[in-house]
Chain A
Amino acid sequence: MKPPKFDYHAPKTLDEAVAALGRYGGDAKVLAGGQSLMPLLNFRLARPAALIDLNRITSLAYIREQDGQVRFGAMTRQRTIEFSPVVAQRLPLLKEATRWVGHLPIRTRGTIGGSIAHADPSAEYPAVLAALEGEVVARGAKGDRVIRANDLFQTYLTTNLASDEILTEVRLPAMPAGAGYALEEFARRHGDFAIVGIAAVVVREGQRCTLARLATAGAGPVPVRLRAAEQILEAQGLGEAAIEAAARKATELVEPDADIHASADYRRHLTGVLTKRALVRAIGVARG
């Protein structure tokens, strides 16, 4: 099908975009890479009065290191992230996750800000944001606001961004040097959204685990941090028994829903299987 009629604005500055968004009082949609929004428009599942297209705002595309974080302009394309040396060095988990985001011609357009603001719980970037305890910056009429991953995701496709706010920046803490990481995912075809995915980070000192991070994609209405499973590893180390216990705990921590792709039980099962796989691989590449 074809999109319904809408007003179209393609401002060159963020201030103009925020002002334009405010004028529509919640009836406008922000267009980033468009790889999710455009299909919704084509199906007429979304019928906004206006589109505020951010693609002409060149100042929203950057990757820079600051205060121990890597900061991404919201319009930084996934393809740019895939090939970024800074990301490869500081955020290898994000680089690995990017390979799972859609397909090559999706990633040339798709953006980090768009993926996170869209808040599809099966998507990879929200899981990485949750696993790494990242935050985002939102700009509204009243100025900037920093939102932590935990507070951002409310439920399926829903964030706590206000209707007049635009997500402008994504901040991810640089991973400790030598940290192990893995993103394991199961989907019916490569490039599909995850039925379940697990992002894992471990920092090891021998068999001891000084830091563990686990987060899900596809195992509930929002990405789920598996803190109680992380604590098992931090308390018991990185042996087989601890990995098994953490994977078992992970299945208890998620409350997946059933849909056309998979039952809730299957998703819960996958959560355990993929947690184990992700941990084994993460531990394998961890130095220390």
Chain B
Amino acid sequence: MADIVTVRMTVNGVVHEGRCEPRKLLVDFIREDLGLTGTHVGCEHGICGACTIMFNGEAARSCIMLAVQADGAELVTVEGLMRDGKLHPLQEAFRDHHGLQCGFCTPGMLMTALDLLRTNPSPSEREIREGISAVLCRCTGYQGIVNAVRAAAPILASER
């Protein structure tokens, strides 16, 4: 039998609790139960990367995780990037360098790029392209995104 389970997680610094079936996908829990619709659902099978969030400090795809697996975890979604009402430097860079057009992939791009820059603070262009190959963008041709990540790298590195 598929009992309803209670899950408790910290999202963008706020503790949330909810009840769901064990089969509920984490991305659906974030969007439907927590009302945080900044995280997007694209392919639902771990290919497009639109649903990428930070899970315990690392980028992970929330469409191929269960909400129940996030019980006790700390998550950051795109809503958690702004600080004091100002865009995160990576978001600024995306705006400055035309790193988005329709915006569908952008939450996933941002979270993926954040983990890339966390583990590799000054990536080469090849490494940036390899890193963001985890997320599909059908608008930009990627060049603006590569430029944005490259521009954000020294700013984030100087804040460490």
Contact = CB atoms under 8 A, between A and B. Distances in A.
A83 B119 contact: yes
A8 interface: yes
Contacts, number: 96
Contacts of B61: 35, 105-106, 109
A39 B115 contact: no
A105 B55 CA distance: 10
A42 B44 contact: yes
Contact of B69 (A5, A53, A104, A105): A53
Contacts of A41: 23
B133 A35 contact: no
Main secondary structure of the interface of B (DSSP, over half): mixed
Nearest to A99: B130
B46 to A, nearest CB: 5
A3 B60 contact: no
Contacts of A67: none
* Contact-size category for B: 20 to 34
Given A43-B45, A104-B131, A105-B134, A34 B23 contact: no
Given A8-B5, A55-B69, A191-B134, A105 B22 contact: no
Contact of A1 (B44, B65, B129, B130): B44
A208 B112 CA distance: 45
Contact of B1 (A7, A34, A39, A42): A7
B122 to A, nearest CB: 16
B134 A38 contact: no
A39 B25 CA distance: 11
Nearest to A1: B44
Given A34-B69, A38-B64, A106-B134, 16 more contacts: A2-B44, A3-B25, A6-B22, A6-B23, A34-B65, A39-B45, A42-B64, A53-B66, A53-B69, A104-B59, A104-B115, A104-B116, A105-B52, A105-B61, A106-B46, A108-B59
Interface of B: 1-2, 5, 21-23, 25, 28, 44-46, 49, 52, 55, 58-61, 63-66, 68-69, 111-112, 115-116, 119, 129-131, 133-134
17 contacts: A2-B25, A35-B61, A39-B64, A41-B23, A53-B66, A103-B49, A104-B112, A105-B134, A108-B58, A108-B59, A109-B55, A109-B60, A109-B61, A109-B65, A190-B129, A190-B130, A190-B133
Interface of A: 1-8, 10, 34-35, 38-39, 41-43, 51, 53, 55, 79, 83, 99, 102-106, 108-109, 189-191
